[in-house]
Structure 1
Amino acid sequence: MSTVLLVEDEELNRVLVRAIIARADAPAVHHANLLEAGSLADARSALAAHAVDLILLDVNLPDGNGLTLAAELNAAPARPTVVALTASVLPHEKAAAMEAGCDAFLDKPYAAADLVSMLANHLS
């Protein structure tokens, strides 16, 4: 079973991701263990306590830019896949996410099917 860390400060967005994963047809997604963090500090604590396979990373967080965490993970020995989730969709913002070490980028708002497909591709 894979572990996914959702780093998202908006509770409604966390509820949405929870529901999408719970209803996913893809077994790798449906059976994933979902951890949640509402800030960079919470994300760092979760990563220190748990082995994580994939991070769904909001870029704009109350205590900083999520891309800072992505860049920090580049030096990690067992680096998880990092997917930026953000409404900041200008080309230079996408480029910054990839330069920081994100493996994929999903624009907000996204379709449930797109999130499930992306998760299935990275967790299978």
Structure 2
Amino acid sequence: MSRILLVEDEELNRTLVKAVLARADIEAVRQAEILDAGTLATARQQLASEPVDLVLLDMNLPDGNGLTLARELAAGDVAPAGGHPAVVAVTASVLPQDRAAAIEAGCDGFLDKPYAAADLVAVVAQHLPG
């Protein structure tokens, strides 16, 4: 079973993402275990202790910009348990330079907010192993 770390400070958004993924028509997405973190600090702790396959990473968090964590993962400054997960930036910042900054920081994908449920499921499916 795959594991997803959802890094999102808004509890309502975390609940929505979990509900969408639990109802996905793709079995691997539907069966994935979802861990969550509301801050970068919590995300770092979870990455160090729990192997995850995918990080859905909000950019605007109470303790910093999500790209900081993406850079730390790419540079090896955060040593995730179980290996390096795929990272997808999830943000309302949709300007081309924001997308480029996310990719430059080490993100493997980008999902614009607001997004359709089908887009979320497709991005998750694309970045889960197997």
* Same-fold status (TM-score > 0.5): yes
C-alpha distance in structure 1 between counterparts of 2:68 and 2:17, whole Å: 22
Q: Are 1:89 and 2:94 counterparts?
A: yes
- TM-score, structure 1 length as denominator? 0.97
The one-letter amino acid paired with 2:126 is: N
The one-letter amino acid paired with 1:30 is: R
Q: Are 1:50 and 2:50 counterparts?
A: yes
What residue number does 1:23 align with? 23
Q: Secondary structure at the match of 2:94?
A: coil
Provide the aligned C-alpha RMSD in A. Answer: 1.0
Stretches of structure 1 lacking an aligned partner (at least 5 in a row): none
Stretches of structure 2 lacking an aligned partner (at least 5 in a row): none
Deviation of 1:100 after TM superposition, in Å, equals 0.2
Deviation of 1:30 after TM superposition, in Å, equals 0.3
Deviation of 1:29 after TM superposition, in Å, equals 0.3
C-alpha distance in structure 1 between counterparts of 2:32 and 2:125, whole Å: 10
What residue number does 1:37 align with? 37
What residue number does 1:7 align with? 7
Deviation readout 1:77-96 (Å, 9 max, x if unpaired): 72110000000111111110
Q: Are 1:116 and 2:121 counterparts?
A: yes
C-alpha distance in structure 1 between counterparts of 2:75 and 2:96, whole Å: 26
- TM-score, structure 2 length as denominator? 0.92
The one-letter amino acid paired with 1:98 is: I
Identity of aligned residues (%): 68
